[in-house]
Structure 1
Amino acid sequence: MLTEVRQWLREEPRQAASLGVSALALLLSFVDVRVDWLDPAWLAVLLCGVPILREGAEGLFTRFDIRADVLVSLALVASVIIGEIFAAGEVAFIMQLGALLEERTVARARAGIERLVRLTPRTARRLAEDGTESVIPAEAVRAGDRLRVLPGETIPVDGVILTGQTAIDQSVMTGESLPVDKGPGDAVSSGTVNQFGSFDMRAEKVGEDSALQRMIRLVQSADAGKARIVRLADRWATWIVLTALLAAAGTWIVSGEVLRAVTILVVFCPCALVLATPTAIMAAIGNATRHGMLVKEGDALERLARVRTVAFDKTGTLTYGTPGVARAVSALPGLAPDALLRLTASAEERSEHPLGKAIVRDFRATGAAAAAVEAFRMLPGRGISATVDGTPLLAGNAALLAEHGITLPPELEKEAEHARQQGQSLVYVALDGKAAGLVALADELRPTAAETLAGLRRCGVDAVLLTGDSDAAAQSVTSRLPLSAVRSHCLPEDKLRWIRQQEAQGQPVCMIGDGINDAPALKAAFVGVAMGGAGSDIAVDAADMALVQDDIRELPHIIALARRMMRTITCNLSFSLLLNFAAILLAMTGLLTPVSGALVHNAGSVLVIVNSALLLHWQARG
């Protein structure tokens, strides 16, 4: 809270000073301190009331829009005319305080689209007919150009590989956790990253037609289409203003006392109504923050309370998003799986391939000593060869073993097929010209995933999986988690299309994702939640909320909190309306003056704030 106040003071120093001076002026007026018989409350009227008058007049006369500011303006003017300056200043101060609380909960400026634009490659290596290479701006590439992409570079445009073998990190576009091996004839997309091995390609889709540019347009269109929730006080303002004017005019006509009419306008000011929503939202945001959820959009929790379907991306959300060794299988008598993993990891020490690095990382975690390695060679697109402890070793795909005339025994083929059905990636290993076994790698499931989905089900929320991975990888997750539906091979536009279809049918969707490819879906969803730790900056910017520590266990609590917040808002609104109508009856009978009416009316605002504050430490029951 202290950090939030400091940030507010830096961002809005004039507003902070205005409210501070107004509060002091009202205090001096309340204790009857005067400066040359001038009521200090005039400062609150000028500093807080004038902006309300200006906004009310602009809305009424330029847009013909009757909002809560119109009624407040009438009460301010009427109070000043009859000399009730303290009442005018008090009402103006409370309204500006409510506006401040509301402003602090709305969305901060987001830079997601700018980050996507910065991902666009700036240059490309074009090859001339004589084979000479020149670096040109990426926007100068034309369809049909021959380009060269070096290891570690981002692919500048969509195209097809002509020569060379490599592995491509496609997580930007598909969210796949594992790199994909590519060779001649395979398609590559702009924005994806060449992991190792240079290759030549033919440009096919360039400029605005490229995959990355299409994603940028998806994010822009999704953001433009998201609806905003209107403040309830403004939604009902026309009826509030009409009722207040009729009540004040009727009382004046019947009683002949203008003081009673002004009192009605003062007590009818929707201060508590204005505070009912933002105070509850701020308290709920504080609670969510304590549970590791950063709420970026002011109305995100309001929307989350209506969600009955949560769509998960797989990689990085339900899983960790990094490959790990699932198991090692030996096909040689006397060679234990641990020994096979040791030999393979020792050979992969110098490998640039992500699967090789994953094998090395998991082996190092065991603390075992590596074997001696000689004659190491990278074989792009196939694997590696080396001599380990004096024995020739091959590690890579099935094509590498076939190239060396090595056949897989039936039992190893069966193990490989079983691993593929679970969506695992395979590294085959051969020793001294014989098939020695395989190492299966998989994206590890988060241990809290099953608990989270069970909690969502208790909340009456269905969990759906939307993933760019293969059917086998998706089904391997489905078999272990209580998911309602699964859709695999999803590109960004496929996720976006599915979300729009659901919401067109009246089914608001909360999307949980972590990758750049999830940004359009996070923007378009009724509520977007990004993984703040492992997720990309672009996904976080596109979302309404972010899990700071990637702890998805908190999702059921946050949804229950959102629903509790909406019940609190309903309670606040009901109480404030009942208090207003009771105060109107007292004002009609002359039992309340403008000052006492303002005090009674603002006491209701205090009670609303106290009730909202109970959300700060609310905890969902298991």
Structure 2
Amino acid sequence: MNFTRDEKVDILLIIISAISVIGSFILSLDYIAWIAVILCGVPIFKECVKGLITEFDIKADLLVTIAIIASIIIGEVFAAGEIATIMAIGGFLEEYTVSKTQGRIEELVKMSPQVATRIKNGIEEKISVEKVQIGDMLKIVPGESIPTDGIIINGETSIDQSTLTGEFLPVDKKENDKVYSGTINLYGSFTMKTTKVSHDSSLQKLIRLVESSKPENAKIVRQADKWATIIVVIAFTTAILTYLFTFEIIRSVTILVVFCPCALVLATPTAIMGAIGNLTGHGILVKDGESLEELSHVDEFVFDKTGTLTYGKPEVVNVVSDKPKEMMYLLASLESKSEHPLAKAIVKYYNKDNLAEVNDFKMHIGKGVTGNINNNLIIAGNKELLELKKIKIDYQNSSEKGKTEIFVAKNNEYLGKILLADTIRKQSQETIRNLKRLRIKTTLLTGDNEKTANFIAKHLKIRNVRSNCLPEDKIKYIKDEQILGHKVAMIGDGVNDAPSLKKANIGIAMGTIGSDVSVEAANIALINDNIEDIPHLVGIARRTIRTINISIAFALILNIIAMGLAILGHLNPIEGALIHNIGSVIVIIYSSTLTKYKISKKDYNKSKKLGITKSLNKPTT
């Protein structure tokens, strides 16, 4: 975990303050706690003054300042140091990575092509991408990043579009097909006609989405802050009135002490620390406490497919042949000469070293490969390639939804086929089922074609599915759902998911396989890519907010009772300090139960009581 210089300084100050508070308690020397008061309390006091002067903003900083000053007045320096230290820890946890949540776009900028090869009057010339105009003819060679959006005029190829759509397999392109900026030309050379200038291309649009796309909801306010104004007014008013009626300053000081919002202010950061500690053990990184509060209100989960619900890489799932051993030997030998992802998956599946020598290897872009093995012509590819070679295919069970078929022939005689697919994660089905038990709608948004998307959705029993989605399509869907009043969580892994992760109320990134851009754009990251932990994440978010609310209610009731006793003179400042410290300990202990939390049947049953409209489970097309 990398920290900035300022963050390292904050951590050092917190550690020193914590040591001083612990030392003060063990040695019963209050003056040692002054270190914590100075290091952590002074910054809080400055923020309080700044907020009051510049914005007349009454918030938790003011409550903490009152608590610290009141504790010092009655000689409870240990209490003052304790409050300052814990609040500094809570503040650090809340604010850490705030600057990073805006998302890093350096990777996207690096993907932006800088040079294009323009064909003008039959002459090729290298020009800056910014000089490319609509209607220009550009030449694209294998391995080159496409400079801007356009249409193929001549040639055919396979293109890696994962940057924009998240598709795990290259997409075959031929004449009149559209191509997009930032995608990678894998194999064939082609000529394209530009339809957009660089500034308006798909990649630049993606960069702008990452920069500007933000949830349009108001900023979440901490629970303690909601009570700040009321508590401050009540505390000061009561203390002044008590003095005017009794002329006993000790009662007024005691009122300020017992009404010092220690337990109230501790309720939020301690609960968040407990929840974050729990989630860290599950390999889940939460960037701030507000994310947990927002997640507790989510009623719809939007999933990307590739790398999220699936593993994001093709695997051989079936071999159909009367001569499977011979076919796989010839096929693996032939495909070992190709760099295509499907070819690599086939060789990996065969997993043997005794591959045959291949002569006259040739790649047929968008169709397959051919080669000569032991004087035998071996053909492997799609139906189009075998039909072109006039090879009769056994079409029985030839249509496999959600799978890619590779047909194999030897000397123009059909041998069989293999099926490859982006396999579904083992935990996906259980995750979707448990989210439904939590009364949460599930939606699949994917850049894959309709056939593949529907196959995955049907297998996982996701009724709401959208296919062929570009980043802006996902953004629009999420925005439309938010307009309808839904709280949306988005989970994805690729660069193309970053805008959606930021647009959603809560963005969840797959940490290990996810790109840096998507992780930085998200509020939460699944470091180990275990989507089975998502229901647990939702459960602990709901439990955390419930814990905070109960702690705040307890703190308020305790303060009111103690204040009443102080007004009547039944409490002195020392006893008042003892009461509010006991309240703080109770809140801390109660919040610490979150570290051991595990989602249970009781949590699923509770979610039934929340209710959910039938429209949430209604399929959308």
Displacement of 1:211 in angstroms is 0.4
Q: Is residue 275 of structure 1 aligned with residue 266 of structure 2?
A: yes
Q: Is the partner of 1:394 in helix, strand or coil?
A: strand
Alignment match of 1:23 (pick from 10, 21, 24)? 21
Matched with 2:343 is: 356
2:610 corresponding residue in structure 1: none
- CA deviation vs aligned residue, 1:435-494 (integer Å, no higher than 9, x gap): 443333211111222122222222222322111111110121123222232221222111
Alignment CA distance shift 1:44-1:560 (3 Å): closer
Give the distance between the partners of 1:561 and 1:67, measured in 2 at CA: 26
The residue number in structure 2 matching 1:401 is: 386
Change (3 A) 1:21 1:429: closer
Task: Determine the C-alpha separation between the residues in 2 that align with 1:47 and 1:371.
Answer: 72
- Counterparts of 1:296-445 in structure 2 under 5 Å? 296-330=287-321, 335-364=322-351, 367=352, 369-404=354-389, 406-409=390-393, 411-412=394-395, 414-416=396-398, 418-419=399-400, 422-445=401-424
Aligned twin of 1:249: 240
Distance (whole Å) between structure 1 residues aligned to residue 6 and residue 333 of structure 2? 55
1:254-304 alpha-carbon deviations (Å, 9 max, x no partner): 211122112212221222111111111111111111112122233222222
| 1:219 partner amino acid | V
> CA distance change for structure 1 residues 556 and 52 in 2, over 3 Å: closer, same or farther?
closer
Q: Are the structure 2 counterparts of residues 172 and 402 from structure 1 closer, same or farther at C-alpha, using a change threshold of 3 Å?
A: same
Given the alignment of the two structures, is residue 476 of structure 1 paired with residue 455 of structure 2, yes or no?
yes
Aligned position for 1:621: 600
CA distance in 1, matches of 2:16, 2:28: 18
Q: 1:20 Cα shift?
A: 4.8
2:170 equivalent in structure 1: 179
- The superposition leaves residues 23-82 of structure 1 with CA deviations (integer Å, 9 ceiling, x where unpaired) of 3795599547xxxxxx666655554444333322222222122223334445655676xx
- Measure the CA separation in 1 of the matches of 2:120 and 2:129: 19
- Is the contact made by 1:28 and 1:40 (CA closer than 8 Å) also made in structure 2? no
Q: Distance in 2 between matches of 1:257 and 1:300?
A: 46
Instruction: For 1:133 and 1:353, locate their aligned partners in 2 and report how far apart those are by CA, in whole Å.
Output: 29
The answer on whether the counterparts of 2:94 and 2:288 sit within 8 Å (CA) in structure 1 is: yes
SS at match of 1:320: strand
Instruction: Work out whether residues 26 and 89 of structure 1, in 8 Å CA contact, stay in contact via their aligned partners in 2.
Output: yes
Q: Which moves more between the two structures, 99-108 or 87-96? A: 87-96
Shift of 1:136: 3.7
User: TM-score, with normalisation over the residues of structure 1?
Assistant: 0.89
Equivalent runs, 1:497-516 vs 2, <5 Å:
497-516=476-495
**1:501 alignment partner, SS class:** helix
User: Of residues 24, 43, 56 in structure 1, which corresponds to 2:48?
Assistant: 56
Describe the shift of the 1:487–1:295 C-alpha distance in structure 2 as closer, same or farther (beyond 3 A): same
Aligned residues: 599
- Tell me the distance in 2 between the aligned counterparts of 1:186 and 1:194: 13
- Shift in alpha-carbon separation, 1:18–1:346, aligned structure 2, 3 A: closer
Corresponding residue for 1:598?
577
Q: Is 1:155 paired with 2:181?
A: no
Tell me if the contact between 1:302 and 1:566 (Cα under 8 Å) persists in the aligned partners. yes
* RMSD value, Cα: 2.9
Helix, strand or coil at the partner of 2:146: coil
**1:128-143 alignment, distance < 5 Å:** 128-129=119-120, 131-143=122-134
Alpha carbons 2:487, 2:505 under 8 Å: kept: yes
Q: Is the 8 A contact 1:166 1:380 kept in 2?
A: yes
Deviations 1:347-382 (A, max 9, x none): 111012222222222222xx4743442221222333
Whole-angstrom CA distance in 2 between matches of 1:534 and 1:31? 51
* Compared CA separation, residues 527 and 124, structure 1 to 2 (3 A): same
Gaps of 5+ in 1: 33-38
Give the corresponding residue for 2:605. Answer: none
1:104 corresponding residue in structure 2 = 93
1:124–1:141 contact (8 Å) kept in structure 2: no
- Report how far residue 21 of structure 1 moved: 7.6
Which amino acid is the alignment partner of residue 230 of structure 1? V
Alignment partner of 1:561 is 2:540: yes
Q: What amino acid is aligned across from residue 189 of structure 2 in structure 1?
A: S
Q: TM-score, normalised by structure 2?
A: 0.89
Residue 259 (structure 1) aligned to one of 241, 250, 260? 250
Structure 1 pair 592–69 and aligned structure 2 pair: CA distance change class (3 A): farther
Alignment check: 8 A CA contact 2:407 2:416 kept: yes
The alignment-based identity, stated in percent, is: 43
- How far did 1:560 drift? 1.5
